[in-house]
Amino acid sequence: MFLYQDAPAGFFKNLLPNVATVLPDVGSARAGGIDIRKTDERRSGVSIKTSRSSPDADPDIQEPPAPAGPRGWWDIGVSWLVLMPSTDLATGRGNESVAIVVSRPSLIINKLFSTLGNFAFVAVLLVVVTACVLLVVEIVSLLFGAKLTRSITRAVADLYEGTRKVQAGDFSHRIPLRTKDQLSELAGSFNAMTERIQHLILEVKEKERLENELAIARDVQSQLFPKEFPRLKTLELWGGCQPARTVSGDYYDFVSLGSDGAALAIGDISGKGISAALLMAHIQSALRSQLMHRNNGSEERAAGLLGSPSSILSILNDHLYTSSPPEKYATFFLGLYADEASQMVYTNAGHLPPMLVRHGEVLRLPGEGFPVGLFPGVHYDQQTVNLEPGDLLVGFTDGVTETPNRDGEEFGDVRLTELLVRHGLKPLDQIASEISDSVAAWTGDLERHDDTTLVLARRL
């Protein structure tokens, strides 16, 4: 605001009474011949003084009133700039100048509440209550925030410690559940994960142990199957087994009966896996002990007590019935071949009848009976077949003919018969390969259904 010597008395005093002091623009004041300075006084804290810069300055010009003194540490002076209209009283020209407003918070508050009259106390009370409520809310927020921060940092620290334990291979470590929030749920999920991993590790170790034991059992079982086949003058022998699992429940064996004969056996033990393999080893040891006793005992051999396959299977049936669980049994075919007579005496104990390929035709050997180990005191019949030169005798288990394809259709006797007719003149190992390849092509990539065992004998 321009200030001139002829400004009316009390102009600044009445401009903002009891609220602020308005200081004219310093530059404009100097232009009018007035020098305004601010100095501190004990009375008001801020004061305005004018000094005459020329001899003809107007002595009636009054200083702007200074704001009242502070009421506390918080009641500090505040200054700001405003644009104010001014009029040159000498020329009457209007203009706008910059003025400096100096005030204190206490003055403004008093002015605001003074306009409320009798309601000032209520307004003050509301402001105080609001301030107290906000203060309480702020304190509660700070406490809650501190607690939440501590909870989060502690949960993160627990999770970090848990991950370090897992990284070190300690899957037994569990994170403590301190609260019931989502971080605790995350810790619970972490504990469940580590517990599951720990169980999986134990399962893997147990699986490895079982696999090692199965590998040992497979090696032991491989020693039970004949390594070499008996060499006879008039008969060529071949046998093989392909387990559906690590070990087989099928059984085949060739036992030499001196230089003039051999025993041919094939069986299928109920069930699969280790139990069937153990029963297979049990049957083999029992059968071989009887056949060796027959081969070494001349008196019994002459009397025919152990020379017939029916008597051997009767003894084997009683032995298996008393030494194995009731649900365990085995189908069995046992044939005793005499080289000089080119004759085979055999007994079929519930096994699939072997096929005899003769002059391009396929015959089934007659005879049937109960499986061994199913009932006690069973007496078996025996039959005799004379083998002619070129005859091919094929013994097999149900893993060959009952193997299904993707549609559930079994390989069947018809396909096996066609293979024998088509490849019956080939060497025995090639015939076995043709049958095995055909069964594998029939199943495709399906898991093997059952053990497949073949026993081949050709009359020379």
Asked if pLDDT for residue 37 goes beyond 60, the answer is no
**Helices 309-323 and 273-296, axial angle in degrees (round to 10):** 140
Q: Which residue has the higher pLDDT, 248 or 233?
A: 233
Q: Which residue has the higher pLDDT, 121 or 81?
A: 81
Q: Can you give the pLDDT at residue 53?
A: 39
With vertex at residue 201, the alpha carbon angle to CA 198 and CA 204, rounded to the nearest 5 degrees, is 155
pLDDT confidence bin for 348, thresholds 50/70/90:
very high
Closest to 249 (Cα-Cα) out of 282, 226, 211, 286: 282
Q: Can you give the pLDDT at residue 18?
A: 61
pLDDT confidence bin for 32, thresholds 50/70/90:
very low
Residue 262 backbone dihedrals phi, psi, to 5 degrees: -155, 155
Asked if pLDDT for residue 50 goes beyond 60, the answer is no
For the residues 279-286, what does the mean pLDDT come to?
86
Asked if pLDDT for residue 386 goes beyond 90, the answer is yes
pLDDT tens-place string over residues 3-18? 433 444 455 555 556 6
pLDDT confidence bin for 266, thresholds 50/70/90:
very high
pLDDT confidence bin for 147, thresholds 50/70/90:
confident
Q: Highest-confidence range of 22-26, 56-60, 184-188, by mean pLDDT?
A: 184-188
Strand order across the 383-386 sheet: 250-256, 261-269, 330-338, 343-349, 383-386
Tokens linked to 119: 């309601």
Which residues, in sequence order, are CB contacts of 88 under 8 Å at separation 6+? 2, 4, 94, 95
Cβ–Cβ < 8 Å for 97, 2: yes
Q: Can you give the pLDDT at residue 420?
A: 94
pLDDT tens-place string over residues 67-111? 667 878 878 888 888 887 777 777 777 777 777 888 888 887 777
Cβ–Cβ < 8 Å for 151, 183: yes
Q: Which residue has the higher pLDDT, 50 or 104?
A: 104
**Burial class of residue 167, CB neighbours in 10 A (0-12, 13-18, 19+):** exposed
How far apart are alpha carbons 407 and 146 in whole angstroms? 68
Instruction: Name residue 395's beta-bridge partners.
Output: 455
Q: Can you give the pLDDT at residue 30?
A: 42
Asked if pLDDT for residue 363 goes beyond 90, the answer is yes
Evaluate the CA torsion angle 293, 299, 304, 305 in order and state its sign.
negative
pLDDT confidence bin for 24, thresholds 50/70/90:
low
- DSSP-assigned letter for residue 446: S
Q: Which residue has the higher pLDDT, 248 or 236?
A: 236
Q: Helices (H) and strands (E) in the chain — how many of each?
A: 11, 15
Q: Which residue has the higher pLDDT, 293 or 230?
A: 230
Q: Can you give the pLDDT at residue 48?
A: 36
Q: Which structural domains are found in the chain, ordered by start?
A: 11-114 (no CATH), 116-224 (no CATH), 226-459 (3.60.40.10)
Tokens linked to 286: 């029992």
For the residues 139-166, what does the mean pLDDT come to?
86
pLDDT tens-place string over residues 288-329? 888 887 666 544 444 343 468 999 999 999 999 998 888 889
Q: Can you give the pLDDT at residue 382?
A: 94
How far apart are alpha carbons 405 and 414 in whole angstroms? 15
Tokens linked to 88: 């040159």
Lowest mean pLDDT among 135-139, 140-144, 176-180, 301-305: 301-305
Asked if pLDDT for residue 431 goes beyond 80, the answer is yes
Strand order across the 78-87 sheet: 20-23, 94-103, 78-87
pLDDT tens-place string over residues 366-379? 988 999 999 999 99
- What is the chain's mean pLDDT, rounded? 80
How far apart are alpha carbons 19 and 7 in whole angstroms? 22
Which segments of 66-119 does DSSP mark as H helices, in order? 105-114
Q: Please report the DSSP string for 345-377 in residue order.
A: EEEEEBPPPPEEEETTEEEE-----PPBTSSTT
Cβ–Cβ < 8 Å for 384, 341: no
CA distances from 299 to 226, 293, 296, 412, 447 (A): 28, 11, 9, 45, 50
How far apart are alpha carbons 51 and 65 in whole angstroms? 16
Asked if pLDDT for residue 255 goes beyond 60, the answer is yes
CA dihedral 218, 351, 403, 275 (to 10 degrees): -30
